Structure 1
Amino acid sequence: MAQIRRQHLVSQVVLKQFTADGPEGSGLQLRPVDVRHPERRNKLASTRTCGWVDTFVAFESASAEKLWDSVERGAHAAFEAVYAGTPFANPLHIKALRDLIVLHYVRSHRYRSTYLNAFETVSVKLRGQLVRQYPEQLRREALRQTRLHLPGSGSLDAFAERLIEQSEVAQEFENGKLFRTSIEGMFHKVRAAAAKWHLEVLTPESGQFLIGDNPGVSVRTDTKPFSYNMAFNDAHSIVLPISPRHLLALGRENLVGTIPRTTVNELNTVQIRAADQYVYMPPRSTRLETFARVTARRWRADRTD
């Protein structure tokens, strides 16, 4: 299978819902706001150039892309049902929307960061266990491989690290196979758990939703501001904006509802804070763009205090 380099973490079918006609002849475009550098003025951009990562899945990426595509194919019809006010008329539409939430929760910068940190933590723990529990075996293996006697714990630790790097699991970590199987497995696991939840389709009484480049976010609403990025089982919901006027959320019952401007601002703040680098909105969303820049600037200032 051919390796796919440009891999969208935010589905283009979702990003398209946030576009509007750009300057004459430029087609449908988005307004990106760089939350790392909120004063930077970014040019309008197409969905093709937004929300993607170079070689996110580095090993047999076509396998993962096939899985993602199986979810995204159902989005078009489901979105039409949402816009028509009938998202629950067809069970297939409910499943497609719920799976879209799961897809964006799992296929994310956040998941890759968690995965990398977890692998490093396990590797360090395993290295320490080898040195503490099997020092003589390590010395014999080092002598066999290198013809060197290892006298102290520092040299034993270095050799234990070398052994771990030679392992099949470490090799699959390095070439990306382990990440691909991990993220595909996590998608299936979270989808099974999310199937026990219902679907909420929320619209703003006023204002608009924006969308970040980590858009499927776990949230708890019992704090102000909302807390986010907790484990799936600790969350009150997983939210995903799908247009400036519609947001999906996992809930306890199927419902279509409206939410006040204050809650819209809370959810937009979650998108800004959870973003890896960018949030997106229609080109002429002047008030929303200002909100995003001010919120990002305050967030960065709070984190550096």
Structure 2
Amino acid sequence: MGTAQETSRQHLVSKVLLEEFTAPEPKGSSQQLLPFDLHHPGRVHKRMHPSRCGWIENFVAVDSASVEALWSNTERRVKAAIAAVRAGAPFADPLHVGVLRDLVVLHYVRSLHYRDVHADSVERARAHLVAKVVSQYSEQLRLEALRETGLYLSGPASLGAFAERLIDRSTIMRDRESGKLFRTSIEDTFHKMRDLASKRRLEVITPETGQFLIGDNPALTLCVKESRTIYGMAFGDAQTLILPIGPRHLLSLGAEDVALTVPQTFVDRLNALQVHAAHRFVYLHPESGLEPFVERAAQRRPSGDRTR
């Protein structure tokens, strides 16, 4: 394989997954799926080729070739692993099991959800450092401010503002602004989560009836407490991490390698979570008939509440 090239249009949902939700174009030979815009649920939604779906501009803004090569190491092996799932033999080859586990982790890390968590984490660390510097090194701050600006800062607000100014000049904060910090974070997190996920087993879930759909934040951590399904917690606090890989199959990291068949009510519940967790789009097989379900679920999309 050649070296991955820099690209601004970066898929968050792997094209190899989106292709599983396609059907032949009614008057052509290309494969298409149905993107559903949750910001405009009443709109007429048009079929599209998967290459036009599931991407974002400059998700990784710096050295994107590095992470594209990292994702490619998993994605180039996915078709064979999904073919084994469709053939009813997902566990026959341990390499396929490993690839599918990695695919789940990849979509958890390469997501808008993770980008938001990363940004919040950096901002909390910055605020904590500012408070620590002001409380423990106030006199040194005053002297440095006097040296740089000729002003004597007295109150905590002015000291805090100057501390922020100093911290924002640090290498790590410059890396945050450039996007380098996010790139290194996403790569490191992927490797760490692969190691954690390797201790889990793979559940392959198939609907008795109905079909799965996939959102643009498709890999979800889940925990069931007192009959409530909670999603979006840290991986270490979750009971499982799920990912739809086609209309008829969903992966879950669990306690044993097992194939499960679930009723329509369970499928509806997981589909609703995909709608609720999505940033803007969910993607359907064009002949699934799920548009009315998604429209109803879109109207009930929560604001901040992650329990269902």
Taking structure 1 as the reference length, what is the TM-score of the superposition?
0.95
Q: Which moved more, 1:26-35 or 1:87-96?
A: 26-35
Provide the residue aligned with 1:214 in structure 2: 217
**In 2, are the aligned partners of 1:131 and 1:157 still within 8 Å (CA)?**
yes
Q: Per the alignment, do residues 142 and 265 of structure 1 end up closer, same or farther by CA in structure 2, a change over 3 Å counting?
A: same
Q: Deviation at 1:128?
A: 1.4
- Corresponding residue for 1:262? 265
Matches within 5 A, 1:277-288: 277-286=280-289, 288=290
Give the 5 Å matches for 1:2-21: 3-21=6-24
Select 1:292's aligned residue among 291, 294, 297: 294
**Conserved 8 A contact 1:225-1:266:** no
Q: Following superposition of structure 1 onto structure 2, how do residues 1-305 of structure 1 map, counting pairs within 5 Å?
A: 3-25=6-28, 27-286=30-289, 288-300=290-302
Residues 34 and 277, structure 1, Cα contact 8 Å, conserved in 2? yes
Structure 1 residues 36 and 26 mapped into 2: Cα distance closer, same or farther (>3 Å)? farther
Q: Give the length in aligned residue pairs.
A: 302
Using the TM superposition, give the Cα deviation of residue 173 of structure 1 relative to its aligned residue in structure 2, in angstroms: 0.6
State the AA in 1 paired with 2:292: T
Query: Which residue identity is paired with 1:257?
Result: L
- Conservation of the 8 A alpha-carbon contact between 2:81 and 2:96: yes
In the alignment, the residues of structure 2 paired with residue 164 and residue 271 of structure 1 have an alpha-carbon distance, to the nearest angstrom, of 39
* 1:208 alignment partner, SS class: coil
For residues 257 and 303 of structure 2, the distance between their equivalents in structure 1, rounded to whole angstroms, comes to 39
| Structure 1 gap ranges (5+) | none
Could you tell me how far 1:35 is from its partner in structure 2? 2.1
- In 2, Cα distance between the equivalents of 1:125 and 1:60? 29
Structure 1 194/242 Cα, relative in aligned 2: closer, same or farther at 3 Å?
same
Provide closer, same or farther for how the CA distance between residues 301 and 275 of structure 1 changes in structure 2, counting only shifts above 3 A.
closer
Tell me: CA distance 1:38–1:302, structure 2 relative to 1, closer, same or farther (3 Å): farther
Q: Is the 8 A contact 2:276 2:302 kept in 1?
A: no
Structure 1 residue 155, shift from structure 2 partner: 1.7
Amino acid at match of 1:234: D
What's the CA shift for 1:279? 0.5
Amino acid at match of 1:37: H
The aligned amino acid for 1:85 is G
Given that 1:35 and 1:277 are in contact with CA atoms closer than 8 Å, whether structure 2 keeps it comes out as yes
Amino acid at match of 1:47: P
The C-alpha deviation readout for 1:138-166, integer Å capped at 9, x for no partner, is 11111222222223222211111100110
Moved more, 9-18 or 137-146: 137-146
Q: State which drifts further: 50-59 or 222-231.
A: 222-231
Give the AA of the match of 1:43: K
Contact 1:81 1:87 (8 Å CA) reproduced? yes
Note the alpha carbon deviations across 1:155-200, whole angstroms, 9 max, x for none.
2111111001100110011111110111111111111011011111
Secondary structure of the 2:301 match is helix
For 1:86, what is the secondary structure of its paired residue? Answer: coil
Residue 300 of structure 1 deviates from its aligned partner by: 4.7
Structure 1 segments (4+ residues) deviating >4 Å: 300-303
Structure with greater helix share of residues: 1
Shift of 1:283: 1.5
RMSD: 1.6
Task: Tell me, in whole angstroms, the C-alpha distance in 2 between the residues paired with 1:124 and 1:300.
Answer: 29
The answer (yes or no) to whether the contact 2:24–2:30 under 8 Å persists in 1 is yes
* One-letter code aligned to 1:64: V
Provide the rounded CA distance (Å) in 2 between the counterparts of 1:153 and 1:250: 48
Which segments of 5 or more consecutive residues in structure 2 lack a partner in the other structure? none
Q: Distance in 2 between matches of 1:243 and 1:53?
A: 21
The change in CA–CA distance for 1:26 and 1:80 in structure 2 (over 3 A counts) is closer
Does the CA contact (< 8 Å) of 1:36 and 1:300 recur in 2? no
Cα distance in 1 for partners of 2:304, 2:129 equals: 36
| Secondary structure, counterpart of 2:45 in structure 1 | coil
How far residue 223 of structure 1 moved from its aligned partner, in angstroms, is: 4.6
